[in-house]
Amino acid sequence: MPYSYLSHLRCSKTGEIVDADQPQQLSPVGAPLLASYDLEALKQAWHPAALLGRPASLWRYHELLPVRDPAQVITLGEGFTPLLPLPAFGKQIGIPDLWMKDESIIPTGSFKARGAAVGVSRARELGITHFAMPTNGNAGAAWALYGARAGLRSTIVMPQAAPAITRLETSLAGARLYLVDGLISDAGRQVAEAVAEQGLFDASTLKEPYRIEGKKTMGLEIAEQLGWTLPDVILYPTGGGVGLIGIYKALQELQELGWVKGPLPRLVAVQASGCAPIVQAWQQGERESRFWPDSQTLAFGINVPKALGDFLVLDALYRTEGCAIAVDDSAIQREIRQLAAREGSFVCPEGAAAFAAARQLREAGWIQGGERVVVLNTGAGIKYPDAITVVPQRLRRDGRIPA
């Protein structure tokens, strides 16, 4: 059996087929390329029982991943994160069957490790030696760290305001790190120029086809961890939207393989009120979003004013009868406190946004009380020490702890 059943790449706009075994960026019409697999052959050759005994990492699904040679796999042990029931918080918000896919304990502290592991491994397999990318912090950190392990050079550009810890991770990994006084869209312009002038490989969101393949493993894992059944609703904090598009792609592939049955979960794109281009487009029934000026939110990873893959996110929402919803920063801070106090989980602001959305959608009746709901906590709260403040208790005047 081949290690990977990757067959070709196809343009997400025109369906044009492109060679998967050459380094590729966007399709000839400038749209993201998506990986296709020989699912017919895989259907005969591969069954859920084959996963038993495989390592608890995302590479357990290597047939559905693009790396052809196992010797090219760059891993820090990423994937197969816990899917945790949240009985106390779920009861509080009226969703007793609430689960958290917890990406806080993955290497590099965010789910971006998945895209980096697969993207960097495949880049090295295809002979790429130096990549560049704009980032809101976590992706750059993950790609720089995996790049270091792979022996690849990296050039990373992030906003000055990105979480300081991601700056440390990136720089310590040996990347060329540049800061811009602006947003990820400004960083993107810098990277595009450097790519054109210096011939670097552009690893920007959806400008190379394999980061999404790493992220789709969240969808594969959710299905496997629920015994090859699907939840009713999945909520995802959406910036560039790659995770949501990836989960949607994974579930479709599992359906085609016959590993899951029934309707797909209703997918929910969660954004911040200060940066909600996808929500605005969804409310207006549009197929693409418009640039969101002066965007701002403490959930830094979802501060993306215009996503290249917006049309793919919106398509996934429409096709699964999902929705898009914006929550404000005060609701995000409230859920960070609630999740820690009730469930012992220090979630990142982006994850907290998705929990706030679950609460609001339940209140609005869009989520029913008996439904099974999965929320993605995309990273560790400890990466964002400035997102929230606490006031410690006071010692007594004599320096002792009050009774």
Is 110 within 8 Å of 142 (Cβ atoms)? yes
- Nearest alpha-carbon partner for 76 in 90, 95, 55: 55
270 binds ligand PLP (CB under 6 A): no
**Position with the least CB separation from ligand PLP:** 301
Is-contact 222 234, C-beta < 8 A? yes
Tokens at 122, concatenated: 């495949």
Please enumerate in sequence order all residues whose Cβ is within 8 A of that of 227, keeping only pairs 6 or more positions apart, or say none.
none
Binding mask 365-394 for ligand PLP (x = CB under 6 A): -------------xx---------------
Q: Are 253 and 224 in contact (CB under 8 A)?
A: no
Decide: is 239 part of the binding site for ligand PLP (CB under 6 A).
Answer: yes
Task: Please pick, from the candidates 81, 104, 110, 121, the single residue that binds ligand PLP as defined by CB under 6 A.
Answer: 110
Q: Which residue lies nearer to ligand PLP by CB, 12 or 205?
A: 205
Site string for ligand PLP, 13-52 (x = CB under 6 A): ----------------------------------------
* Contact call for residue 243 and ligand PLP (CB under 6 A): yes
Contact between 317 and 267 under an 8 Å Cβ cutoff? The reply is: yes
From candidates 238, 295, 338, 345, binder to ligand PLP by CB under 6 A: 238
SS3 397: coil
Q: How near is the Cβ of 160 to ligand PLP at its closest, in Å?
A: 16
What is the SS3 assignment for 142?
helix
CA atoms of 280 and 269, how far apart (whole Å) = 11
Closer of 68 and 166 to ligand PLP (Cβ): 166
Q: Does 265 bind ligand PLP (CB under 6 A)?
A: no
Both tokens of 47, joined, read 């069954």
Task: Give CA–CA dist 313/277, Å, rounded.
Answer: 11
CB of 239 to ligand PLP, least distance (A): 3
Distance CA 278, CA 82 (A): 28
Nearer to ligand PLP, 32 or 241 (CB): 241
Q: How far apart are CA 349 and CA 335, in angstroms?
A: 9
- Residue 188 contacts ligand PLP per CB under 6 A: no
Site string for ligand PLP, 131-170 (x = CB under 6 A): -----x-xx-------------------------------
Cα–Cα nearest to 100, from 395, 335, 363:
335
Q: Which residue lies nearer to ligand PLP by CB, 42 or 244? A: 244
Query: Which residue stretch of 39-47, 80-88, 240-248, 322-330 sits at the interface with ligand PLP (rule: CB under 6 A)?
Result: 240-248
Within positions 302 to 331, which residues make up the interface with ligand PLP, using CB under 6 A?
302
- Least distance from ligand PLP to the Cβ atom of residue 401, Å: 36
Work out how close the CB of 49 gets to ligand PLP at its nearest, in angstroms, rounded to a whole number: 31
The answer to whether residues 310 and 288 touch, using CB atoms and an 8 Å cutoff, is: yes
Give residues with Cβ within 8 angstroms of 115, minimum separation 6: 139, 142, 143, 210, 211, 212, 214, 215, 242
Binding site for ligand PLP (CB under 6 A): 110, 112, 136, 138-139, 205, 237-243, 301-302, 348, 350, 378-379
